[in-house]
């Protein structure tokens, strides 16, 4: 009887290898899937970061544009006299945001976008306010211009009225000036004898000037100081302060007069007489006698001395 053969171990070893290969295959497959999933996650994260950075950059650019528009609105509204308190506050907030780090997460970016929309809405509201201010200022400008035109017309009328009043006053003042009429001039010697010109030096002791104040219905009745000036051929007045001479203002300058009288002008054709004793001989030549009051000339005459 033959001995049975022992079972061969080959098939058991083959099954073990198969299991190991299967396990290794699963491990490789799992690792491959993990590597793929990790890669996909990195790609998604990178894409999300890129999107976030791009979104942040766009938001910051909008924020910068808003700041520029805020500056413009503040200038325009302030110029028109509007209130810029709210705009100044918004500008300070926007400036602070622009100075912050650009590293923000998606939540912070969303919050910034919400605030940005608020700033943009504020700017739209201020556009309406600015239009109203421009319209109001235009109306005020028109009203002011109309008032200025009326004021100019009124000023022109007042200027014309004042000019007419001044012209009338000048005419009245000129018309009220007194005139000396019938001017007569004689010499008077020591015996009281009078002689008509021309005069001889040795015979000329005193000169006597007589004249009448002409009728003038415009001139008021008032006190007047009547002056005479005896002027030699060199244009120099003859005066002696010890004999009643003095000074008065003529054409803005202080001048000497020879003799004076104070009277009450009453418009009755008053006749005045001046006698002046020079106290020394007259130089031969031509002399002029002028009559003044209130700084204007009433009349004049001439005489010669030989």
Is there a domain that residue 98 lies in?
yes
Where does residue 86 rank: exposed (0-12), middle (13-18), buried (19+ CB within 10 A)? middle
End position of a domain, from candidates 175, 205, 224: 175
Tell me the pLDDT tens digit for each residue of 57-78: 777 788 888 888 888 888 888 8
End position of a domain, from candidates 175, 198, 229: 175
End position of a domain, from candidates 175, 209, 236: 175
The residue among 239, 283, 273, 278 whose CA lies nearest residue 259 is 239
**Pair 151, 259 in one domain:** no
Q: What is the CATH number of the domain that holds 244?
A: 2.60.40.1930
* Higher pLDDT, residue 52 or 160: 160
Is there a domain that residue 289 lies in?
yes
Is there a domain that residue 75 lies in?
yes
Tell me the pLDDT tens digit for each residue of 166-214: 876 777 778 889 999 999 999 998 888 899 999 988 878 899 999 999 9
What domain range includes position 272?
180-305
Q: Which two tokens stand for residue 155?
A: 């000023």
Distance, in Å, from the CA atom of 291 to the CA atom of 213, rounded to the nearest integer, reads: 11
**Pair 81, 150 in one domain:** yes
The pTM of the whole model exceeds 0.75: no
Tell me the pLDDT tens digit for each residue of 128-173: 888 888 888 888 888 888 888 888 888 888 888 888 878 767 777 7
């Amino acid at each position: 009887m033959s001995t049975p053969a022992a079972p061969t171990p080959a098939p058991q070893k083959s099954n073990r290898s198969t299991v190991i290969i299967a396990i290794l295959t699963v491990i490789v497959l799992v690792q491959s899937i993990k590597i793929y999933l990790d890669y996909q996650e990195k790609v998604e994260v990178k894409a999300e970061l890129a999107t976030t950075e791009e979104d942040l950059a766009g938001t910051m650019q909008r924020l910068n544009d808003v700041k520029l528009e805020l500056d413009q609105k503040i200038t325009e509204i302030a110029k028109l006299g509007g209130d810029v308190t709210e705009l100044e506050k918004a500008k300070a907030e926007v400036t602070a945001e622009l100075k912050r780090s650009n590293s923000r997460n998606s939540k912070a970016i969303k919050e910034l976008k919400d605030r940005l929309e608020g700033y943009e809405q504020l700017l739209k509201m201020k556009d309406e306010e600015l239009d109203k201010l421009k319209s109001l200022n235009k109306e005020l400008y028109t009203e002011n211009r109309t008032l200025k035109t009326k004021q100019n017309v009124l000023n022109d009328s007042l200027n014309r009225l004042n000019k007419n009043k001044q012209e009338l006053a000048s005419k009245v003042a000129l018309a009220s000036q007194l005139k000396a009429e019938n001017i007569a001039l004689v010499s008077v010697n020591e015996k009281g004898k009078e002689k008509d010109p021309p005069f001889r030096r040795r015979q000329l002791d005193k000169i006597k000037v007589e004249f009448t104040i002409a009728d003038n219905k415009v001139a008021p009745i008032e006190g007047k100081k009547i002056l005479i000036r005896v002027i030699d051929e060199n244009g120099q007045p003859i005066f002696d302060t010890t004999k009643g001479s003095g000074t008065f203002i003529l054409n803005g300058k202080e001048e000497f007069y020879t003799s004076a009288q104070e009277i009450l002008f009453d418009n009755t054709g008053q006749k005045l007489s001046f006698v002046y004793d020079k106290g020394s001989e007259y130089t031969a030549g031509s002399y002029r006698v002028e009559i003044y009051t209130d700084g204007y000339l009433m009349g004049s005459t001439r005489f010669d001395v030989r």
